[in-house]
Amino acid sequence: MLDEKPVVLVIDDEEAMRDSCSQILAKDGFQPETAGNGDVGLKKARDVKPDLVLIDLKMPGISGFEVLDKIKEHDPSIISIVITGYATVESAVEAMKKGAYDFLPKPFTPDQLRIIIRRGLERRRLIQETERLRREKMLMEENFITMVSHQLRSPLGTIAQYFEVILAGMVGKVEPRQEEMLAKARDRLESLMELINDWLDMARMNRGQIVDRLKPLSLKEVLKDIVEFMQPSAQKENIQLELVSYSGRDVVQGDDETLKQVFSNLITNAIKYNTPNGKVKVFLEETEDSVAVNVEDTGIGIPEEHLNYIFDQFYRIKKKGEKKSGGTGLGLSIAKKIVEAHAGIIRVVSKTGKGSTFTVVLPKARPESEKE
């Protein structure tokens, strides 16, 4: 309610301090609540849900520092201001580390109290507004993702099926000129579907859905499946695709599905941007605490001026001879987000005409014996 008074809780073992603060607060339009010790203060914080708490550091029983530790459990956005007659730089720093917004040494004037409380309440308002906007943004993203998934992707998929039926001649003869135009329309539709699917993948990466699925897995097995699956595509382009044997430690904390997406993207690009009769070599390297996967090709390479931007969203490099750049420009951005969600890094080394090497470095999974 807009007319609700901000609730300010004063936790202090000095009755005179509690009474004087209450009078000042009530006069200024706040709703004061008081507690004579930390135990009572924490109980009141649960019951009255204050906007701001004034906490004396030096109290019998639970100290002000302990109250600071526990009060955030009830409301993370609550503003805590420390008041004490034992003001030192060390105690102020310690209070700030424990989440205090500000520090007010005793004795203080009514004006000093008013200023610091109004500043603290403004801080709380900004925190709550930020949180409200964050939740609103998440809801908008979820609604938009749902709309794109169901109200856009589904009908486009149906349209694509109609194109296939017509082009197959199942509803009547298609003249050559008509077939050409329909094939172009189908290709554009496929590009749009690819963009939608990549965008949905990107949106899901932003929502951090990977971390919850991480578990120990073998990178060798992941790469073996990907290389076997992509051999036909490589052979079709006369590209030699090789997974170099590796006997080192290869277990990382990862998500099988999204890591396959990363390496599929890198190998697909290595095939697509290769030279005739070129090679793509996939090999692993081990360091003390990580495993690196290298995808090395003998392709056309990446011009130096593009290297700083290839992981940016929608950034595309046109292949020589193409009228326009292929792909959606999201593949490497998605790969980067997936790798970063695995606490890893992705980098590239390339020279025009001399090929490229993309490297994904992932931390090793800790052995079971080290997990305590």
Domain residues of the chain, as ranges? Answer: 7-108, 139-206, 213-370
Provide the percentage of residues in the chain whose pLDDT is more than 70. Answer: 89
Mean pLDDT, residues 244-261: 89
Lowest mean pLDDT, pick from 110-119, 167-176, 215-224: 167-176
Give the pLDDT confidence score for residue 316 in this predicted structure. Answer: 67
Which 8-state DSSP code applies to residue 364? B
Question: Does the pLDDT of residue 370 top 50, yes or no?
Answer: no
For the chain, state the CA radius of gyration: 31
Residues 222, 263 contacting (CB under 8 angstroms): yes
Angle at which helices 219-236 and 256-272 cross, to 10°: 30
Same fold, 7-108 and 213-370: no
Strands (E), the chain: 7-11, 31-35, 52-56, 79-84, 102-105, 215-218, 240-243, 251-254, 279-286, 290-297, 345-350, 356-363
Residue 22 token pair: 């209450």
Fold adopted by 7-108: Rossmann fold (3.40.50)
CA–CA separation, 335 and 205 (whole Å): 10
CA–CA separation, 286 and 365 (whole Å): 13
Lowest mean pLDDT, pick from 3-17, 20-34, 146-160, 176-190: 146-160
The per-residue pLDDT of the chain, averaged, comes to 85
Residue 183 token pair: 């094939």
- Burial classification of residue 121, based on how many CB atoms lie within 10 Å of its CB (0-12 exposed, 13-18 middle, 19 or more buried): middle
The predicted-structure confidence for 231-244, as pLDDT tens digits, reads as follows 999 999 999 999 99
Q: What are phi and psi of 326, to 5 degrees?
A: -85, 170
Fold adopted by 213-370: Heat Shock Protein 90 (3.30.565)
Residue 2 token pair: 């807009």
The predicted-structure confidence for 14-62, as pLDDT tens digits, reads as follows 899 999 999 999 999 999 999 999 899 999 998 999 999 999 888 888 8
